[in-house]
Amino acid sequence: MTKLLNEIIGQSGISFGTSGARGLVVDFTDEVVASFTQSFLRVMQREFSVKRLAIGIDNRPSSPVMAAACAGAAEALGVAVDYYGVLPTPALAYQAMQDGVPAIMVTGSHIPFDRNGLKFYRPTGEITKADELAIVDTRENLTTFDAKLPEVNPAGAANYIQRYCAVFTPGIMRGLHIGLYEHSSAGRDLYADLFRSLGAEVTSLERTDTFVPIDTEAVADADVEKGRRWSQEYGFDAIFSTDGDGDRPLIADENGNWLRGDIVGLLCARQLGINALAVPVSCNSAIEQCGAFAEVARTRIGSPYVIAALEELASSHAAIAGFEANGGFLLGSDVQLNGKWLKALPTRDALLPGIALIAAAASHSLSAQVASLPARFTASDRIQNVPTATSKTLIAEASGDQSALLKLLGISDKTVSAVNTTDGLRIRFDDGEIIHLRPSGNAPELRCYAEANDQTRAAALVKQVLAKLQANLSQVVS
Residues with catalytic function: 109
Q: Give 207-247 as a DSSP string.
A: E-SS-----TTS--HHHHHHHHHHHHHH--SEEEEE-TTSS
According to DSSP, the β-strands at 177-183 and 125-126 are unpaired
Q: What is the DSSP letter of 27?
A: G
Contact of 458 with 379, CB cutoff 8 Å: yes
98, 123, 280, 305, 353 from 334: Cα distances, Å: 14, 18, 22, 20, 15
The distance of Cα 391 from the centroid of its chain, to the nearest Å, equals 21
What is the CA angle 110-305-298, rounded to 5? 105
- With a CB cutoff of 8 Å and minimum separation 6, the contacts of 418 are 427, 428
Strands across the sheet with 249-252, in order? 201-207, 177-183, 238-242, 249-252
Contact of 21 with 129, CB cutoff 8 Å: no
Contact of 110 with 248, CB cutoff 8 Å: yes
28, 266, 373, 386, 458 from 290: Cα distances, Å: 45, 9, 6, 36, 19
- With a CB cutoff of 8 Å and minimum separation 6, the contacts of 91 are 56, 84, 156, 157, 159, 160, 187, 190, 246
According to DSSP, the β-strands at 320-323 and 329-331 are antiparallel
Contact of 265 with 329, CB cutoff 8 Å: yes
Rounded CA gap, 405 and 396, in Å? 11
**The length of the chain, given as a count of residues:** 478
Give residue 261's region: left, alpha or beta (phi > 0; psi -120 to 50).
Answer: alpha
Burial (CB < 10 A; 0-12, 13-18, 19+), residue 350, is buried
